[in-house]
Amino acid sequence: MVIYGTALLAFCHALGIVLGDLLGHALGMKTNVGGVGIAMLLLILLRLWLHKYGRLCATSESGVNYWGAIYIPVVVAMAMQQNVVSALHGGPMALLAAVGSVLVCGLFISFINRAEKPDSKTS
């Protein structure tokens, strides 16, 4: 059933948020620490475990896949409610931070890939 997948996702999400809150508390903060990341790791692990025992049918999986596919539209809706008016005052900053990080990352990609031994492609 589709709801099994969505419920699995909801379970991982809720547990991740709770663990993130607990971690935050343990670290002496009032905020959530990495709850979303923990939830993702939980989902990856649970999916592996369920697959191993053949407990996840394609219909159930579609209950998760739908939400994965809807993530770009949700991000678009998120963009629609940002405080862009006040953000535009810092326009050059966003541009500079973006260009700077792309340049630095591009240099590192080039550096790492130039060190790759040419056996995987040319052999």
CB of residue 107 to other proteins, shortest distance in Å: 9
CB of residue 118 to other proteins, shortest distance in Å: 9
CB of residue 2 to other proteins, shortest distance in Å: 13
Question: What does the alpha-carbon distance between residue 44 and residue 53 come to, in Å, rounded to a whole number?
Answer: 15
Q: Are 35 and 12 in contact (CB under 8 A)?
A: no
Tell me the DSSP string of 5-24. Answer: HHHHHHHHHHHHHHHHHHHH
Question: What does the alpha-carbon distance between residue 102 and residue 53 come to, in Å, rounded to a whole number?
Answer: 43
Identity of residue 46: L
CB of residue 53 to other proteins, shortest distance in Å: 16
Of 72, 73, 63, nearest to 12 (Cα)?
63
